[in-house]
Amino acid sequence: MDNICYGLSGRVFVITGGSRGIGLEIARRLLKNEKTKVVLCARKQEGLEQAAADLDAGDNLLALPAHIAREEDVAALFQRAKDTFGRVDALINNVGMNLLTPSTASAGMDTWKKIIDTNLNGTFLCSCAAAQIMREQGRGKIVNISSIASRRSAPGMGIYGVAKAGIESLTRVLALELAPDNIQVNAVAPSMVKTGFSAPFWSNREMHDQIVGGIPLGRLAEPADVVEPVLFLCSEGASFITGQVINIDGGATIV
């Protein structure tokens, strides 16, 4: 799929949670094939440094530490993006964090707040900051990474699923409100993707086989399976698509 081109050359992307997994693969694809500018953010400096060294993109990449649930961090992130590259054409809200919660009702407020803050509140803050810049430009794209956990309850994923459901609702609300500014807001909802984030599930053979048994295409998603739909939603080919959530689940939600 690396030979597919979406005509994104020269555009500026902000990718949250970009030091590993899906975010890192989106950045790699954008920098290698699409010749874009990328602003990569994550909480941990060491992870960002490793990602930047791996991508080796020179002045086309800006890697910045940021806690996206903190307003001041988000404001600084987008100001640096604008100061460095002059604009922000697309935001990929990719941050995903979960703490295994076998019982949501017994999880406690600290766990609830941490998961909701990082997933939902972070997506809200980054979208607001990006929208402000995009309105001035007269165009923009926001793509949120949701999950089929937003609609299908699963053990250990309760609060995470609630946060992702909020992200899908936010996607529709922002799509409606930002449409007059020529800003399209969409989301993708993968099933389990084979990354370090989900390793506690797929690394267990019994659990892996159980999950795959519910996927008609018979395998877990790879990061590349998510990257391509995201880039399409950022392209001119998706200029009349907004407020949508695309399932990337190998058919899991039709079973």
d(CA 15, CA 50): 16
| 160 included as an active-site residue | yes
Q: What is the DSSP string of 114-170?
A: HHHIIIIIHHHHHHHHHHHHHHHHT-EEEEEE--GGGTS--TBBHHHHHHHHHHHHH
Catalytic residue among 78, 85, 124, 160: 160
User: Which residues are within 8 A (CB) of 114 and not within 5 positions of it... i.e. 6 or more apart?
Assistant: 97, 99
Residues 188 and 186: their CA atoms lie apart, in Å, by 7
Phi-psi bin for 140: left (phi > 0), alpha (psi -120 to 50), beta?
Answer: left
Asked if 167 and 120 touch (Cβ cutoff 8 Å), the reply is yes
In degrees rounded to 5, what are phi and psi of residue 166? -60, -40
In this structure, are residues 240 and 13 in contact, taking their beta carbons and an 8 Å threshold? no
Unique residue bearing structure tokens 């990082």: 118
How many residues are present in the chain?
A: 255
Closest CA to 167 of 17, 6, 7: 17
DSSP string, 8-69: -TT-EEEEESTTSHHHHHHHHHIIIII--EEEEEES-HHHHHHHHHHH--GGGEEEEE--TT
Q: Which residues carry out catalysis?
A: 160
